[in-house]
């Protein structure tokens, strides 16, 4: 029998991959890794893109096939929709409002990681908390 969350670790491919925007509360990223050590998440700061503008981050996320996690509801969403209007790839964004409790954001993102497949959120902007 597997523990809750173990199926994520046992997938060989098709796993959702995340990139955490620079502005995402690092407690969320740390909590995700602590609760699910095999989660595929990188921080923008760890990719050499610190201080990069939103279009550059979205381009990198598209090239890497990573869904973006961000608190930036105003400008990141605008640039994401511009990419879509221009026919460019946009692997998806999960907007996490700063008002969302950290524990709930972690729970929701782990649920999404567990139940989603790579490419499932392409072209979509979704908002936490899940309802």
Residue 44 confidence (pLDDT): 97
Give the Cα separation of 60 and 11 in Å (integer): 24
Alpha-carbon gap, residue 40 to 14, rounded angstroms: 11
Domains of the chain (ranges; CATH) run 6-127 (3.40.50)
* Statement: the pTM of the whole predicted model exceeds 0.85: yes
**Phi, psi at 117, each rounded to 5°:** -120, 160
| Dist CA 15 CA 60 (whole Å) | 18
The whole-number pLDDT of residue 124 equals: 97
Strand pairing report for 67-70 and 18-20: parallel
Q: Do 46 and 120 contact (CB within 8 A), yes or no?
A: no
* 131 residues of the chain, pLDDT tens digit each: 223 333 333 333 578 999 999 999 999 999 999 999 999 999 999 999 999 999 999 999 999 999 999 999 889 999 999 999 999 999 999 999 999 999 999 999 999 999 998 889 999 999 999 97
């Amino acid at each position: 029998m597997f523990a809750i969350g173990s199926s994520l670790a046992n997938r060989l491919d098709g796993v959702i991959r995340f990139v955490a925007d620079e502005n995402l509360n690092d407690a969320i990223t740390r909590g995700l890794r602590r609760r699910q050590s095999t989660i595929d998440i990188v921080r923008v700061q760890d990719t050499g893109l610190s201080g990069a503008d939103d279009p550059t981050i979205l381009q990198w996320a598209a090239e890497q096939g990573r869904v973006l996690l961000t608190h930036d509801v105003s400008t990141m969403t605008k640039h994401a929709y511009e990419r879509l209007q221009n026919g460019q790839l946009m692997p998806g964004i999960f907007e996490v409002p700063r008002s969302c409790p950290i524990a709930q954001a972690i729970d929701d993102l782990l649920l999404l990681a567990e139940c989603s497949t790579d490419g499932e959120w392409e072209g979509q902007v979704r908002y936490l908390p899940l309802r």
